[in-house]
C-alpha cells in the first residue's frame, strides 16, 4: 500500500551553518531548513525571520525606474490625464487598484483605467482602446501586468505624442517596446528582489514615486493587502521581496480598511480566520477571478476600489454567484477532458481542445489535470476556427520556452514558467499538439511525469518532534512556491492505533511510536486507507508539523502527507 507519490529526500537539513544555530538559538533542523531555502548568512536569516517592508530593496535597482518615476511624478504635478491599463486576472486587478487607490488623491478626476475583457479581447494592449484614451486627452499610459511585448501599440502611442510607461513581469521578447520606461525584473539582469508579480512591480513603481512625493508612502503602505492578494494569486515564488510583501500584506489584510475585501471576508464567514496564502488562493482569488472568466473583470476592480460598505457587499454577492456558476462550468469541462483522456494514453504532455469548452475556465481545469496526471497540460477552447488556450506546468518544464519552441504554429502566446496563455488556429491544433508533445518528450524524463514528487526536507527521529520545533517551523511562513511548508519524515515507526474521524470517516487519525516517544497524527481524506494499515506494523510517515493547542493542551500534531510500509522505498 502506498499513495502515488515519489519521495525525493533533499540534502540533509541538519547540515546547517553553525552561526544560525548559535546566534539565533535555532535547532539544527530549523537552521538547515533555512539553508535549504538559500538562507545561509546571519543577515539573510534575520531578514527572512524578522524582516519588514523596511528591508525591501531600492526600487531604483530596476532598469529605467528613475525615468518611470520622474515621468509619473511630472504627470501628477501637471494634472495630466493618465490611463492605467491593467489585466483581467487577480494580479492585474490588484495592481490596477493599488495604483488607483494610491494616486487618485493627487490627481482627482484625471486618472482613468481600462481592463480588457478576457473572452472578447484577450490579454494585453489593444490599439482601439488606446485610441479612445488618446481622444480623451490622456498624455500618459501606464501599464500594469502587461505591455512588455506591445511593440505596435507602443509605436501607435508614440506617433500620437503620448508617453508609455510599462510595468510588467512577463517574459520580454527580443526587442522592448519604444517607451518612456520599461520596468520589469526580467529586463534587469541580477535584480536581487527576485521574480515579482505584476502587482509587485506596480508596488516598486509607487515605492520609487514616494521618493519624489513622500505623502504617497503612507497610502501605499495602507494598501499592502492588495499586494499580498495579487502576489499569492499569481503563484510567483514566495521568496525574497515577494515573501516580505506577502508577510506584511497579510498583516494589513488582518485589519483591512478596504470595504471590498472586508465584504468578501464577511460574506463567506472568513472574517475570523487566520490570514494565510491559502485563504487567498482558495477563497478570495477565485471570486475575484470569476467575473473576468465569465464576463466583465471590471466588476472585480470596482469591488477593490469601492468606498461604500453597502455597495461593496452587493458587488461581493454578485461575485459569489458568478463563482458558483464558474464552478459548475468547470466541473463539466473537467469531466469532458477526462473522458477524452480515457480514450488515449497520455504522453509526456497533455494537449486537448474542444468547441464545447468555456475559455474562461480552461486554466483552472488545466491546473486540476496537472495535479491528477502530473504532466504539462494545454487546453484549448475552439470557436469558429480559432482556439484560445491555457497552459499549466510541472516543476522543471518552462512553459514559455516550450511555447516559444512551437511559436510558428501559434497566433500569439505569453506567460511564464508555470502558466501561460496562447492562441492557435483550429486547423493547426493537431500539429501544435504533436510538436508540443515532442518538446515535452525531449525535455522531460519519463520518471518526471505521471507520479507527483513529494519532497522530504528531512528524515528525523520521532522524539525530536517537539512543540518548540513546530513553532520554529511556523516562523518560516508564509509558505508557498519557492518556500513550501517543510515536509518531514520518520522511518520504521510502529502504528499504535488508527481510526477514522469526520463525516463518513473521511479522515484518518493515528498514534505512532518508536519505543522512545509517541505522537498523534491526522491524515485529511486518508480515511479510505484505514483498512490497509494493520496496527502494530511499522511504516514510513511523511508529514507537516503543526502545534495543536486544542483544549489548551499544547502538543505536536503530524499532518500526514504519505504513508508506506517500512523500507518499501529502499
Does 149 share its domain with 184?
Answer: yes
Q: What single DSSP character describes residue 174?
A: S
Given 224, 247, 270, the domain boundary residue is: 247
* pLDDT over 90 at 553, yes or no: no
Same domain, 389 and 489: no
User: What CATH number has the domain bearing residue 487?
Assistant: 2.40.50.460
Last residue of a domain, one of 379, 414, 448: 448
The CA angle 7-10-11, to the nearest 5 degrees, is: 150
435 and 458 fall within a common domain: no
Say if 529 falls within a structural domain: yes
The DSSP code for 284 is: I
The total number of structural domains that make up the chain: 3
Which H/E stretch holds residue 136?
A: helix 127-136
Note the pLDDT tens digit of each residue in 115-145. Answer: 999 878 878 899 999 999 999 999 999 999 9
Task: Identify which of 299, 308, 356 has the alpha carbon closest to the alpha carbon of residue 333.
Answer: 356
Q: Which residues pair with 377 in a beta bridge?
A: 350, 392
Tell me the whole-structure pTM to 2 decimals.
0.89
Residue 370: its H or E element:
helix 362-373
Kindly state the helix (H) or strand (E) to which residue 340 belongs, with its residue range. Answer: helix 309-342
Grid look-up 527576485 returns 194
pLDDT in tens, 323-359: 999 999 999 999 999 999 999 888 899 999 999 999 9
Range of the domain at 208: 56-247
CB 128, CB 157: distance < 8 Å: no
The CB-side HSE value for 68 (13 A sphere, CA atoms) comes to: 30
The H or E element containing residue 496 is strand 488-501
pLDDT score for 445: 81
The H-or-E segment that residue 548 falls in is strand 538-548
Q: Are residues 85 and 229 in the same domain?
A: yes
φ, ψ of residue 124 in degrees (nearest 5): 95, -175
- Are 139 and 210 contained in the same domain? yes
- Please check whether residues 212 and 123 belong to one and the same domain: yes
The whole-angstrom separation of Cα 439 and Cα 444 is 8
Domain membership flag for residue 378? yes
Q: Are 252 and 222 in contact (CB under 8 A)?
A: yes
| Cα–Cα dist 18/31, whole Å | 8
pLDDT for residue 497 is more than 70: yes
90 assigned to some structural domain: yes
Nearest to 270 by CA among 291, 253, 294, 292: 253
Whether residue 478 is preceded by a cis peptide bond, meaning omega within 30 degrees of 0, is yes
CA distance 377 to 364: 11
The answer to whether residues 440 and 504 belong to one domain is: no
Q: Is the Cβ–Cβ distance between 563 and 539 less than 8 Å?
A: yes
Please indicate, yes or no, if residue 184 is contained in any of the structural domains. Answer: yes
Cell of residue 151, nine digits: 511593440
Residue 278 covered by a domain: no
Residue in 358, 284, 310 with CA at minimum distance from that of residue 97: 284
Do residue 230 and residue 176 come from a single domain?
A: yes
Give the model's pLDDT for residue 304. Answer: 97
- Give the pLDDT band of residue 551 (cuts 50, 70, 90): low
pLDDT > 90? residue 94? yes
Note the pLDDT of residue 226.
Answer: 98
Residue 279 located in a structural domain: no
In a domain, 49, yes or no: no
Instruction: Examine residue 258 and state whether it is found in any structural domain, yes or no.
Output: no
Q: Are residues 112 and 144 in the same domain?
A: yes
Give the range with max mean pLDDT: 119-128, 129-138, 288-297, 416-425.
129-138
Here the CATH number for the domain that contains residue 154 is 3.90.1640.30
H runs (alpha helix) in 41-126: 42-50, 65-77, 90-103
Q: How far is it between the farthest Cα atoms of the chain? A: 79
Instruction: Name which of 454, 399, 452, 407 is nearest 428 in CA terms.
Output: 407
106 and 224 share a domain?
Answer: yes
**Confidence (pLDDT) at 1:** 46
Indicate the pLDDT class of residue 293, thresholds 50, 70 and 90. confident
Shared domain for 421 and 482, answered yes or no, is: no
Asked if residues 211 and 9 have their Cβ atoms less than 8 Å apart, the reply is no
H-helix segments, 160-258: 198-212, 216-222, 224-233, 240-254
Q: Is 365 exposed, middle or buried (0-12, 13-18, 19+ CB in 10 A)?
A: buried
State the first-to-last Cα distance of the chain, in angstroms, to the nearest integer.
15
Domain endpoint, select from 404, 429, 448: 448
| Per-residue pLDDT tens digits for 29-87 | 999 899 888 888 899 999 999 998 889 999 999 999 999 999 999 999 999 999 999 99
Residue 365, pLDDT > 60, answer yes
As a whole number of angstroms, the distance between CA 3 and CA 532 comes to 11
498 plus 397 within the same structural domain: no
CATH code for the domain in which residue 367 is found: 3.10.310.30
Between 171 and 366, the more confident residue is 366
Amino acid at each position: 500500500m502506498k499513495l502515488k507519490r515519489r519521495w525525493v529526500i533533499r540534502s540533509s537539513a541538519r547540515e546547517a551553518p553553525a552561526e544560525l544555530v548559535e546566534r539565533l538559538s535555532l535547532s539544527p533542523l530549523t537552521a538547515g531548513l533555512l539553508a535549504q531555502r538559500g538562507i545561509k548568512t546571519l543577515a539573510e536569516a534575520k531578514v527572512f525571520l524578522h524582516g519588514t517592508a523596511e528591508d525591501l530593496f531600492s526600487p531604483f535597482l530596476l532598469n529605467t525606474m528613475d525615468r518611470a518615476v520622474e515621468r509619473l511624478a511630472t504627470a501628477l504635478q501637471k494634472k495630466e490625464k493618465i490611463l492605467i491599463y491593467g489585466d483581467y486576472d487577480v494580479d492585474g486587478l490588484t495592481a490596477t487598484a493599488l495604483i488607483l487607490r494610491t494616486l487618485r488623491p493627487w490627481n482627482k478626476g484625471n486618472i482613468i483605467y481600462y481592463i480588457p475583457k478576457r473572452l472578447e479581447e484577450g490579454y494585453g494592449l489593444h490599439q482601439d482602446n488606446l485610441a479612445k484614451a488618446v481622444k480623451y486627452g490622456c498624455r500618459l499610459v501606464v501599464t500594469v501586468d502587461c505591455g512588455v511585448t506591445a511593440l505596435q501599440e507602443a509605436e501607435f502611442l508614440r506617433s500620437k505624442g503620448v508617453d508609455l510607461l510599462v510595468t510588467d513581469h512577463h517574459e520580454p521578447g527580443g526587442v522592448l517596446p519604444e517607451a518612456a520606461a520599461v520596468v520589469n525584473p526580467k529586463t534587469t539582469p541580477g535584480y536581487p528582489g527576485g521574480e515579482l508579480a505584476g502587482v509587485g512591480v506596480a508596488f516598486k513603481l509607487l515605492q520609487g514615486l514616494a521618493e519624489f512625493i513622500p505623502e504617497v508612502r503612507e497610502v501605499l503602505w495602507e494598501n499592502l493587502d492588495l499586494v499580498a492578494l495579487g502576489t499569492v494569486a499569481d503563484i510567483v515564488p514566495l521568496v525574497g521581496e515577494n515573501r516580505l510583501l506577502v508577510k506584511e500584506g497579510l498583516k494589513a489584510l488582518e485589519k483591512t480598511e478596504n470595504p471590498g475585501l472586508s465584504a468578501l471576508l464577511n460574506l463567506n464567514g472568513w472574517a475570523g480566520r487566520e490570514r494565510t496564502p491559502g485563504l487567498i488562493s482558495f477563497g478570495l482569488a477565485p471570486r475575484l477571478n470569476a467575473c473576468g472568466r465569465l464576463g466583465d473583470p471590471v466588476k472585480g476592480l470596482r469591488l477593490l476600489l469601492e468606498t461604500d460598505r453597502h455597495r461593496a457587499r452587493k458587488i461581493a454577492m454578485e461575485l459569489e454567484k458568478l463563482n458558483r456558476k464558474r464552478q459548475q462550468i468547470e466541473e463539466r469541462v473537467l469531466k469532458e477532458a477526462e473522458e477524452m483522456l480515457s480514450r488515449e494514453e497520455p504522453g509526456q504532455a497533455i494537449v486537448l481542445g474542444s468547441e464545447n469548452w468555456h475559455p474562461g475556465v480552461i486554466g483552472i481545469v488545466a491546473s486540476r489535470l496537472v495535479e491528477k496526471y502530473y504532466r504539462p497540460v494545454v487546453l484549448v477552447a475552439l470557436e469558429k476556427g480559432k482556439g484560445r488556450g491555457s497552459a499549466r506546468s510541472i516543476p522543471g518544464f518552462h512553459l514559455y520556452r516550450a511555447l516559444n519552441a512551437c511559436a510558428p504554429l501559434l497566433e500569439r502566446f505569453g506567460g511564464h514558467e508555470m502558466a501561460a496563455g496562447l492562441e492557435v488556429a483550429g486547423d493547426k491544433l493537431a500539429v501544435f499538439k504533436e510538436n508540443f508533445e515532442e518538446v515535452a518528450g525531449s525535455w522531460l524524463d519519463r520518471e518526471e511525469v505521471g507520479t507527483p514528487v513529494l519532497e522530504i526536507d528531512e528524515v528525523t527521529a520521532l522524539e525530536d518532534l517537539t512543540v518548540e520545533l513546530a513553532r520554529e517551523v511556523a516562523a518560516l511562513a508564509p509558505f508557498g512556491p519557492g518556500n513550501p511548508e517543510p515536509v518531514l519524515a520518520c522511518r520504521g515507526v510502529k502504528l499504535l492505533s488508527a481510526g477514522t474521524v469526520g463525516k463518513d470517516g473521511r479522515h484518518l487519525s493515528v498514534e505512532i511510536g518508536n519505543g522512545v516517544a509517541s505522537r498523534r497524527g491526522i491524515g485529511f481524506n486518508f480515511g479510505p486507507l484505514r483498512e490497509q494499515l494493520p496496527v502494530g506494523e511499522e511504516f514510513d510517515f511523511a508529514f507537516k508539523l503543526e502545534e495543536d493547542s486544542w483544549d489548551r493542551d499544547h502538543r505536536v500534531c503530524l499532518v500526514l502527507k504519505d504513508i508506506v510500509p517500512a523500507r518499501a522505498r529502499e
